[in-house]
Structure 1
Amino acid sequence: MSLAAGVVAIAGLKVFSGIVGPFFLALMLTIAVQPLQGWAQRRGWSAWVGMVIALLAVVGILLGIGLALAVSAWQLASLLPEYGDKLNALLDNARGLLSDLGISSDQIQKVLDGIDVGKVAEFVEQLLGGVLGVFSNLFFVLALLLFMAVDGMTMDKRMTVVQGQRPAIAGALLSFAEGTRKYLVVSTVFGAIVAVIDGGALWLMGVPLPILWALLSFITNYIPNIGFVIGVIPPALLALLDSGPVLMIWVIVVYSVINFVIQSIIQPKFVGDAVGLSVTVTFLSLVFWAWVIGALGALLAIPLTLLVKALLLDIDPSTRWADVLIGAPLPKKVPEEQAREREAERP
C-alpha cells in the first residue's frame, strides 16, 4: 500500500511539474534568505522591513542572473552564423577521415546531413524562447516569494507552537531548513570560485563569450556529480568552431582539472558535512528529480531529497536509523560502545 501510494504521489508530481517546480524554487529561495528577516528583527526593526530586505535580495539575484544569461544567449545566437564555413570545413575533414577508415559515403552522409549551423542557430533561438518562458514563470515565482516572505514574518512563532505540540515534526523541519541553507551556501561559494576560475581560463585561452560560460559553470555547480560535464560541452564546441580541435582539447583538459579538484575532491567534503547524504544518494536524487520535475529538479535535487528525508525519516524517531544507511555522518561511538564504557566505569 505504501509503495502504491508513493507511485501515485510521484505521478501527481510529474503531472503538475510546471507548478511544483516553481513552488519548490520559491521555497528554497525563501529558506535561503530567511536569516535576513531574523537579522532585521534582532536589530529591532519592523517585521515588514525584514520581509522587504529578504524579498529584494532574492529578486536582485534572480533578475541579475536571468538578465546576464539572456544577454549572453543573444550574443551567442548572433555569433553562431559566423562559423558556418568553419563548420563545413570540419565536416569535410571528418568525412575524409571516416572514408579513410572504410565507412561508406552513404553512411557518412546520413550522419553528417543533420549537422548544420542554421539548425544550431534555430536551436539557440528556441532556447531563448525557453528563457522567455522562464521569465513568464518568474512572475509566478515572485508572487510565491512575496506570499512566503509575508508568512515568514510569523514563522518563528508558528514553529514554537509546533515544537510544543509535535517536537519531532518541528525538529525535522528545522533540520531540513538548516541543511538546505548550508547546502545552498556551500554550493554558491564553490560555484562562484569555479565560475571565476573557468571564466578566467577561457578568457586567457581566447574562447569567445567567457562570461556566459562562467555563468553556466556557476549554475551547473548546483547539479551534483555531473554538473561540470554539462557546463564544459558548449565552450568546448565553440572552441572547436573558433580555433580548431587543439583549443577544444585544452578547454576540456583545463575544465576537467579545475572542476575535478574543486567539485569532486574539495566540495563533496563540505556538502557531505552539510547535508549528510552519500554520493550514491545524491546521484540517484539527481536522476529521480530531473525525471519528475525537469531542469529545476536537477538544480534542486539535494534540497528536495532533504525535504523527503525530513518528512519520511527524520519526522519519526523509529526510522532515523535509516540516516546511517543513506550517508548521515556516523557518531564517533555507537550506542553499544557508549553503554559498555559506562558499564566499565562503574565501581
Structure 2
Amino acid sequence: MSGYDPEKAGLHMLQKLAALVIIVAGIRAASDIIVPLLLAVFFAIVLNPLVVWFMRRGLQRGLAVTVVVITMLILMSLVIGVLASSLNEFATRLPEFNQMLTERALQLERLIPGNQHLSPERLLQRMDSERMVSFATTLMTQLSGAMVSVVVLVMTVIFMLMEVRHIPYKLRFALNNPRIHIASLHRALKGVSHYLALKTLMSLLTGITTWMGLKLLGVEFALMWSVLAFLLNFIPNIGATISAIPPMIQAMLFNGWYECLMVGALFSAIHMVIGNMIEPRVMGRRLGMSTLVVFLSLLFWGWLLGPVGMLLSVPLTSVCKIWMETTKGGSKLAILLGPGRPKQRPLP
C-alpha cells in the first residue's frame, strides 16, 4: 500500500506557499533595513578583490581595508560633488524644457496632415517634460535615500571586509552538513563576486564611453547621463534602453531631431559593442540562468526592494538558485531557473 496521500501533499504545498508569502511580505516590510545591507554586501564583494590584492603586496588586512575604503570615498565624493552640481543646473533649466516642448508640439501638429483634434495643450498634459526627464533624478534620489546614511554604509562595509576571513571557520561549526553547504556557498560567492566585479567594470566602461560620446555630440549634462548609464547597466535587458531615453529627449528639445537620432545611435552602438560583444565574452554564463528568469527576477526584485533590487536582481536570483540546489525540495525548482537543457554527451 502506497504511503502517498494527495491531501497531505497538497496541504504541505499550501503551507510552503503560505510561508513563502509571509517571508516575502516580511522582506518588503523590512526593506528600509535590507536595502542598505544589500548595498553594503555589494560594495564588500566588489572591494574584497582589491583588499586581497593589497594583502598579497605585503599589507595587513586592516591597512588594506583602510586604503581601499578611503580611495572609494574620495572617488565617490568627487563624482557626487560634480553630479550634484549637474543636477542643480538641470533642475533650474526645467522651465526651458517646457518651453521647448511646446515648440516641438506645435511642429508635430503642423506635420500631421488633416488633424483637427490635436492641441499642444493636450500634448503638454500627456508629455510634460518633468515627467519625461525626471526618471534619472528620481532613480538617483531613491538610490541615495536607500543608503539611509553614508556613514553607516561605510562602517558596515568595513566590518564585512574585516570579517570575511572568519566566515568559513564559523560555518564549519554552525552548519549540520558543512562540507556541502560551504562548497555551495563558495560557489555562490565566487559566481556572484565574478559577476559583480566584471559587471562593475563593464558598467564603468559604458559610463565613460557614454560621457565621451555625448561630449563629442555636444549634449549638455553628459556627466549626469553617463552616471545614469553606469547605474542602469546593472539592470539586465532593459537598462541600456532606459538610459538612452532621457538624453535623447533632451537632445530632441535643445538640439534637434538629427542630434536626437545621433544620441540614439550612440547608445545603440555602445550597447551593441559592450553589451552584446565584449560583456558576454568576458563574463560568460557563469550564473546559469535563462533569459526569461533574468527578466522575471528583474520585475520581482524591483517590486520587492525598489531600484536597488533591480540593480542586484541577477546576483540575488543566482544566490537563491544555488541555495535551492542544496536543498531536497528546491533542486527541481533550481532546474527550472537554469538556462535550458544540458548538453547531451555523444554516444560511444
Instruction: State the TM bucket, normalised to the shorter chain.
Output: 0.7 to 0.9
User: Would the alpha carbon gap of residues 68 and 180 (structure 1) be closer, same or farther in structure 2, given more than 3 Å must change?
Assistant: farther
Q: In structure 2, what residue type is equivalent to 1:260?
A: M
Q: Report if aligned partners of 2:252, 2:260 keep a CA contact under 8 Å in 1.
A: yes
C-alpha separation between the residues in 1 aligned to 2:288 and 2:134? 43
Q: In structure 2, what residue type is equivalent to 1:326?
A: L
- Give deviations 1:212-250, integer Å, cap 9, x for gaps: 222221111111111111110111011011111121112
Matching residue of 1:152: 164
Q: CA deviation at 1:182?
A: 0.8
User: Would you say 1:219 and 2:231 are equivalent positions?
Assistant: yes
C-alpha separation between the residues in 1 aligned to 2:335 and 2:137? 47
- The one of 195, 198, 201 aligned to 2:210: 198
C-alpha separation between the residues in 1 aligned to 2:159 and 2:248? 42
- Give deviations 1:52-108, integer Å, cap 9, x for gaps: 23433544454444334323212322343344543321122223345x343515x66
After the TM superposition, which residues 118-197 of structure 1 pair with which residues of structure 2 at under 5 Å, given as runs? 130=142, 133-134=145-146, 136-159=148-171, 161=173, 165-197=177-209
* SS, match of residue 237 in structure 2: coil
192-201 vs 179-188, greater mean Cα deviation: 192-201
User: Would you say 1:102 and 2:115 are equivalent positions?
Assistant: yes
Percent of aligned positions that are identical: 27
Q: Report if aligned partners of 1:191, 1:221 keep a CA contact under 8 Å in 2.
A: yes
Q: Please give the root-mean-square deviation of Cα atoms over the aligned residues, in Å.
A: 3.4
Q: CA deviation at 1:150?
A: 3.5
C-alpha separation between the residues in 1 aligned to 2:315 and 2:33? 17
Q: Report if aligned partners of 2:302, 2:308 keep a CA contact under 8 Å in 1.
A: yes
TM-score, normalising length from structure 2? Answer: 0.81
Q: CA deviation at 1:256?
A: 1.5
Q: CA deviation at 1:254?
A: 2.3
Q: Report if aligned partners of 2:195, 2:283 keep a CA contact under 8 Å in 1.
A: yes
Number of aligned residues: 334
C-alpha separation between the residues in 2 aligned to 1:195 and 1:125? 16
C-alpha separation between the residues in 1 aligned to 2:191 and 2:265? 33
After the TM superposition, which residues 20-39 of structure 1 pair with which residues of structure 2 at under 5 Å, given as runs? 20-39=34-53
Q: In structure 2, what residue type is equivalent to 1:104?
A: H
User: Would the alpha carbon gap of residues 170 and 68 (structure 1) be closer, same or farther in structure 2, given more than 3 Å must change?
Assistant: farther
User: Would the alpha carbon gap of residues 34 and 117 (structure 1) be closer, same or farther in structure 2, given more than 3 Å must change?
Assistant: closer
- Give deviations 1:262-311, integer Å, cap 9, x for gaps: 21344245444232222222111111100110000111111111221232
Q: In structure 1, what residue type is equivalent to 2:265?
A: V
Give the number of the structure whose residues are more often helix, by fraction. Answer: 1
User: Would the alpha carbon gap of residues 75 and 44 (structure 1) be closer, same or farther in structure 2, given more than 3 Å must change?
Assistant: same
User: Would the alpha carbon gap of residues 121 and 51 (structure 1) be closer, same or farther in structure 2, given more than 3 Å must change?
Assistant: closer
User: Would you say 1:3 and 2:17 are equivalent positions?
Assistant: yes
Matching residue of 1:345: none
Q: CA deviation at 1:16?
A: 1.7
Matching residue of 1:80: 94
After the TM superposition, which residues 237-252 of structure 1 pair with which residues of structure 2 at under 5 Å, given as runs? 237-252=249-264
Q: In structure 2, what residue type is equivalent to 1:327?
A: G
270-279 vs 4-13, greater mean Cα deviation: 270-279
Matching residue of 1:15: 29
Q: In structure 2, what residue type is equivalent to 1:25?
A: L
Q: Report if aligned partners of 1:84, 1:117 keep a CA contact under 8 Å in 2.
A: yes
Matching residue of 2:11: none
- The one of 49, 53, 69 aligned to 2:67: 53
Q: In structure 2, what residue type is equivalent to 1:217?
A: A
Q: CA deviation at 1:149?
A: 2.9
- Give deviations 1:111-142, integer Å, cap 9, x for gaps: 32355557779998877765763564433322
Matching residue of 1:233: 245
Q: Report if aligned partners of 1:225, 1:283 keep a CA contact under 8 Å in 2.
A: yes
User: Would the alpha carbon gap of residues 101 and 259 (structure 1) be closer, same or farther in structure 2, given more than 3 Å must change?
Assistant: farther
243-252 vs 288-297, greater mean Cα deviation: 243-252
C-alpha separation between the residues in 2 aligned to 1:44 and 1:204? 43
Q: In structure 1, what residue type is equivalent to 2:106?
A: D
Matching residue of 2:291: 279
Q: CA deviation at 1:27?
A: 1.2
User: Would the alpha carbon gap of residues 277 and 57 (structure 1) be closer, same or farther in structure 2, given more than 3 Å must change?
Assistant: farther
Q: Report if aligned partners of 2:252, 2:259 keep a CA contact under 8 Å in 1.
A: yes
Q: Report if aligned partners of 1:37, 1:54 keep a CA contact under 8 Å in 2.
A: yes
